[in-house]
Structure 1
C-alpha cells in the first residue's frame, strides 16, 4: 500500500462516523449513518455506504428525520470524492440538498508541519482559548473569519464548542499591533491518532507574508507535543499549496451537501 492509500485508509477508519459527530449536542445512529445535532444545524457522517441496498431510501429517511426536528434549520451530508455510489451527489441533489464548494482533504505527519516559521515584525502567534481575555479575542477572530469566508460560526457558538470540548479544541490567533489578522483552531480527535486544522483565515491585506504558515506550524507543534501523529484539513485552493509544501498529501476531496428548511 502506498503512502496516499495508507493515509486515506487511516482517515476513513479513524475520522469518519462517530468521530465526526463527537462534538455534537446529541447524536444517534441509523444504519451506516451517524447523525449529530449542533445547535440549529445537523450533520451526517459514515465510513462507507457499501452494502446499502437502497441509497435513495436512506437519503429520504434522513431528510425526514431532520425535517421533523423544529430546531434544525439545515443539515450537512458530507461526501468524499471516493464515496460510492459514484452518483451519490446527484442522488442527494434529487432530494433537495445543495452542493457547496469542493475542498481537498489533506493528511500527513504532524511533525512535517511542526517547524519554526519567521513572522513579520510586530506579528505574534498565540493560543487564546485558555486566557482570561479569550472572549474578546475569539469574538474578534470569529468576526474576521466570517468576513473572510462569508459564513461560519458565531463567537458564541465557538466559545460554547470550546467549553464542551474539554480541552480537545484550542483556538489560535496571529495579531499585529493587538489586532487579529489570522486565526484557526486545532481539534484533537479523541481515541484517534489525528488532530484537525480548522477555520484557518487571514485578512486579505496580510496574506503572502508567511502568517498562515506560522499559525499552522504553531498548531502543529502543539499537536505533536500532545502525542498526535497525523494532521488533517479540508482546505481551499488558497490553503492547499501551503500544506503541500509542509508535506501533507491530498488524499481525496470533500463536498458538503446541505439541506435548508
Structure 2
C-alpha cells in the first residue's frame, strides 16, 4: 500500500498540478520555477535528474538567480521530499540563504475508506461554507490557530479562488454560531487525487472528534466528485488524527524558505 500510494503521488501530483494556480512557470532543467500573486515564488520537480552534489548546488543557485532577478518576489519556497535522491541539497539550500521550516508528513488515504460516520459533540454542525462571510470567519479562526497576521489577505485570496473554481470547497464546523474548525477540499484536475488543506481546530475544541468528522465529510464530498485518493501535508498535530482516520504516511516534506534581503 505504502509504495503504491507513493508511486501514485510522484506520478500524478508533482510539478504540473502543484503549480496550476501560478501566474507564470519557467522550467530550468528538472525544476519548475513558479511565480504567484503577492510576491511568492515556488520551486518543485519530479526529481533532480540524477544530479550530483555540484549539480544540485548549481540548480539551487540558478533558482535563486532567477527569483532574485524579479524584484516583485519577496519570498520563495523550495519544496523538498525525504524520499528523493538529492545529494547535498540541504547544504546547498542553506548556503544560498534558504531556511528550513518544520517537516510535514505526506499522508495519503482512500476516500472510500475515510468517509466514516464520526460522532461530534451536541451543538456542533459541519457543513460546506457558502458565503464570503463564512470564508472570512474561517480565515480569522485559522489566523488565531496558526498565529498568522496575514490571515485576511489569505482568506480574500481563497474567496477569489472559490469563485473561480467551484470544485474547490471549504468545510467548516460551527458551535453557537462560531466557526471552531475548518479545512479545504481541492480536487486535482486530471488525477485521482484531492488535497486536504488548511485543517485547523480551536485548541479548546480539540480531542472531541471534530477534525476527524470534518475529514470524513470532505471524503464524502470527494467521492461525489469521483476522487479516489485524499492527500495532505500534515503537521504533528494532524498526522495522528489522519492516521486514526485511515491515512498512511508515505514520506515527509520540508519547506525551505528564501526571503529577499532587506535593502
Matched ranges for 1:173-188 at <5 A? 173-188=172-187
Cα shift readout 1:35-77 (whole Å, capped 9, x = no counterpart)? 2222121111111113336111111110111112222110100
Cα shift readout 1:137-177 (whole Å, capped 9, x = no counterpart)? 1111111112111236521122123234x223211110111
1:95 corresponds to = 96
1:253 aligns with 2:252: yes
Count of residue pairs the alignment pairs up: 254
1:29 corresponds to = 27
Distance in structure 2 (CA, Å) of the matches to 1:126 and 1:89: 42
Matched ranges for 1:209-224 at <5 A? 209-224=208-223
Distance in structure 2 (CA, Å) of the matches to 1:97 and 1:126: 39
Distance in structure 1 (CA, Å) of the matches to 2:75 and 2:163: 23
Matched ranges for 1:110-189 at <5 A? 110-128=111-129, 131=130, 134-151=131-148, 154-164=154-164, 166-189=165-188
Cα shift readout 1:230-260 (whole Å, capped 9, x = no counterpart)? 1110111111111111211110000000010
If the length of structure 1 is used for normalisation, what is the TM-score? 0.93
Aligned-partner SS, 2:85:
coil
2:68 corresponds to = 67
- My pick for the range that moved more, 100-109 or 45-54, is 45-54
* Structure 2 unpaired stretches of 5+: none
Contact 2:106 2:231 (8 Å CA) reproduced: yes
After TM superposition, which residue ranges in structure 1, 4 or more long, deviate above 6 angstroms? Answer: none
Q: Return closer, same or farther for 1:161/1:72 CA change in 2, 3 Å cut-off.
A: farther
Contact 1:114 1:217 (8 Å CA) reproduced: yes
Cα shift readout 1:193-240 (whole Å, capped 9, x = no counterpart)? 000100000000011111111111110100011110111101111111
* Structure 1 unpaired stretches of 5+: none
Distance in structure 2 (CA, Å) of the matches to 1:225 and 1:185: 15
Distance in structure 1 (CA, Å) of the matches to 2:94 and 2:143: 26
- My pick for the range that moved more, 150-159 or 84-93, is 150-159
Aligned-partner SS, 1:180:
strand
Distance in structure 1 (CA, Å) of the matches to 2:246 and 2:92: 35
2:203 corresponds to = 204
Distance in structure 2 (CA, Å) of the matches to 1:73 and 1:143: 24
Distance in structure 2 (CA, Å) of the matches to 1:52 and 1:85: 7
- My pick for the range that moved more, 204-213 or 86-95, is 86-95
If the length of structure 2 is used for normalisation, what is the TM-score? 0.93
Distance in structure 2 (CA, Å) of the matches to 1:56 and 1:118: 51
Q: CA deviation at 1:86?
A: 4.0
Contact 2:51 2:86 (8 Å CA) reproduced: no
